[in-house]
Amino acid sequence: MMPPPPPPSSSANADDGANAGEAMAAALCEATGLYDLPRAALERLVGDVVREDRFGALLENMSSMWAAKAALGA
């Protein structure tokens, strides 16, 4: 399993955030082994993500994106 990326520096700007997002998406696309994880490893990984301090904010962002998509009829 790959270690998590380092946290962004406090001086990170919007471009850095976009670049980090692109890097994260690329890393997830390359991590095809994610789909082959044993159940126990997947549960541990999901548990780690859910317990992250900013997980609630991630869910709120995703909810906003889905609401916008629904409003556009996409």
Instruction: Kindly report, residue by residue over 1-40, the tens digit of the pLDDT.
Output: 555 656 555 555 556 767 888 888 788 777 778 788 899 9
Domain ranges of the chain: 1-36, 37-74
Distances (CA, A) of 72 to 16, 45, 58, 65: 28, 33, 21, 11
- The per-residue pLDDT for 8 is 55
Give me the torsion for CA of 43, 44, 49, 52, rounded to 10°.
130
User: pTM to 2 decimals?
Assistant: 0.50
- d(C-alpha 38, C-alpha 45), whole Å: 11
Give start and end residues of each alpha helix (H) in 1-74.
14-30, 39-50, 55-72
**Quick one: pLDDT band at residue 57, thresholds 50, 70, 90?**
very high
